[in-house]
C-alpha cells in the first residue's frame, strides 16, 4: 500500500465486531479498517456470513458486539441518507417490481447526492450516461430493467453505484452472473476506482478474481463462530493452504496474468 494511502484516515473501522441474526453470532470477532483507495476482497464459503457482514456495514443489521465506525462516528449514529452518501451498495440481483429503464435506474444512484425531492439535472443525466457507456450498455439505456439479461442488469447496478460518488462501495459478488468478457470489464472498472480514491469491499466465490482485482484479501474461516483471516496482502492470505482450509478441498495455484 502506498504511504500516502496509509496516511489517509479510515473510512470504516470494525473492532472486535460480531455479526449475526437475532442472538446467533455467525462470525466474529472481526477487526479491519478500510481507507480511501483500498480494494478488499472478502472470501468465504456459502453461509459463512458475507451478506450478514455487508448488511451490518450498511446499517441494516445491528452489530452483536464490538464497534463499527464510519468516518470515526459509530455507525448507529448515522442517518440513513447521510450513510447512503458515504456507502454505495451493489446487490447481486435487482429486486424492484417496477419497470424502470436502465437510465432511470442508474440515475437513482445520483439521488443520494441530491437535496430531498430535487429532480436530477442535465449533469446528473450526463454522469449516468457516462457510467452506462463505461460499462458497455449504452445501447440498453432506454430498455426496462425487466427486459435485459441478468448479467446486463448487474452491469446497470454497477453503473448506478459508480455515479453515486460514495467513498466506499460494497459489492456483493459483482461478477457472479457475467460472461468472461464482462467479468474482466467489471474487474477493470473496479481497479480504476482506486485511482479516484474510492474504496471497494467486494465478495466473491472466485479466489482468482480476488487476486486479480484486490490489494488485500480477507476471509471468513469456518468455525463456531466463523472467524476472520486477514485482511492482508493478497498473496499472503490467498495461499493454497488457506484456500484449502477455507473451502475444504485440496488447492493448487498457478499464476496467470490478466491483460
Ligand X SMILES: Nc1ncnc2c1ncn2[C@@H]1O[C@H](COP(=O)(O)OP(=O)(O)OP(=O)(O)O)[C@@H](O)[C@H]1O
* 225 is an interface residue for ligand X by CB under 6 A: no
CB of 139 to ligand X, least distance (A): 31
Establish whether the linkage from the previous residue to 120 is cis, with ω within 30° of 0. no
* 77 is an interface residue for ligand X by CB under 6 A: no
Q: Helix H segments across the chain?
A: 3-7, 50-57, 80-86, 102-111, 122-134, 150-162, 180-195, 207-213, 234-237, 240-247
Q: Give whichever of 134 and 227 is closer to ligand X, judged by the CB atom.
A: 227
Q: Return the number of other C-beta atoms located less than 10 Å from residue 245's C-beta.
A: 14
Q: Give whichever of 22 and 181 is closer to ligand X, judged by the CB atom.
A: 22
Q: Give whichever of 44 and 59 is closer to ligand X, judged by the CB atom.
A: 44
CB of 63 to ligand X, least distance (A): 14
Binding pattern to ligand X, positions 24-63, x when CB under 6 A? --x-----------------x-xxxxxxx-----------
Q: Give whichever of 53 and 106 is closer to ligand X, judged by the CB atom.
A: 53
* From 1, 9, 16, 21, residue interacting with ligand X (rule: CB under 6 A): 21
* 248 is an interface residue for ligand X by CB under 6 A: no
Tell me, what DSSP letter sits at residue 26?
Answer: E
The x, y and z cell numbers of residue 29, run together, are 470477532
Q: Give whichever of 150 and 197 is closer to ligand X, judged by the CB atom.
A: 150
Q: Give whichever of 44 and 109 is closer to ligand X, judged by the CB atom.
A: 44
Give the total of residues touching ligand X (CB under 6 A). 10
* 235 is an interface residue for ligand X by CB under 6 A: no
The x, y and z cell numbers of residue 97, run together, are 417490481
Handedness of CA 29, 247, 215, 62 (dihedral sign): negative
CB of 203 to ligand X, least distance (A): 7
* 231 is an interface residue for ligand X by CB under 6 A: no
Which residues are within 8 A (CB) of 139 and not within 5 positions of it... i.e. 6 or more apart? none
Measured between alpha carbons, how far is 85 from 58 in angstroms, rounded to an integer? 11
Strand order through the sheet with 65-70: 24-34, 12-21, 65-70, 73-74
Question: Under a CB-based contact definition with an 8 Å cutoff, are residues 237 and 163 in contact?
Answer: no
CB of 54 to ligand X, least distance (A): 8
* 164 is an interface residue for ligand X by CB under 6 A: no
Residues of this chain that interact with ligand X (CB under 6 A) are 21, 26, 44, 46-52
Amino acid at each position: 500500500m502506498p504511504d500516502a494511502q496509509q496516511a489517509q484516515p479510515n473510512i470504516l473501522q470494525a473492532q472486535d465486531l460480531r455479526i449475526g441474526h437475532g442472538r446467533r453470532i455467525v462470525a466474529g470477532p472481526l477487526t479491519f479498517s478500510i481507507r480511501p483507495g483500498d480494494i478488499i476482497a472478502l472470501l468465504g464459503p456459502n453461509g459463512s456470513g458475507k451478506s450478514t457482514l455487508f448488511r451490518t456495514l450498511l446499517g441494516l443489521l445491528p452489530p452483536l458486539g464490538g464497534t463499527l465506525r464510519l468516518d470515526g462516528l459509530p455507525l448507529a449514529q448515522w442517518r440513513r441518507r447521510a450513510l447512503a452518501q458515504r456507502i454505495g451498495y451493489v446487490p447481486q440481483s435487482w429486486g424492484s417490481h417496477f419497470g424502470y429503464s436502465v437510465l432511470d435506474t442508474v440515475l437513482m444512484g445520483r439521488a443520494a447526492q441530491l437535496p430531498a425531492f430535487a429532480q436530477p439535472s442535465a449533469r446528473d443525466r450526463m454522469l449516468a450516461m457516462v457510467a452506462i457507456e463505461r460499462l458497455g450498455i449504452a445501447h440498453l439505456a432506454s430498455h426496462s430493467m425487466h427486459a435485459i439479461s441478468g448479467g446486463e442488469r448487474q452491469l446497470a447496478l454497477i453503473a448506478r453505484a459508480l455515479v453515486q460518488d460514495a467513498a466506499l462501495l460494497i459489492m456483493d459478488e459483482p461478477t457472479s452472473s457475467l460472461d468472461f468478457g464482462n467479468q474482466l470489464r467489471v474487474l477493470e472498472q473496479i481497479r480504476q476506482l482506486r485511482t479516484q480514491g474510492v474504496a471497494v469491499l467486494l465478495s466473491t466465490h472466485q479466489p482468482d478474481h480476488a487476486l486479480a482485482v484486490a490489494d488485500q484479501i480477507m476471509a471468513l474461516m469456518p468455525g463456531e463462530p466463523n472467524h476472520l483471516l486477514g485482511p492482508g496482502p493478497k498473496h499472503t492470505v490467498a495461499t493454497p493452504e488457506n484456500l484449502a482450509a477455507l473451502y475444504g478441498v485440496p488447492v493448487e495455484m498457478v499464476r496467470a496474468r490478466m491483460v
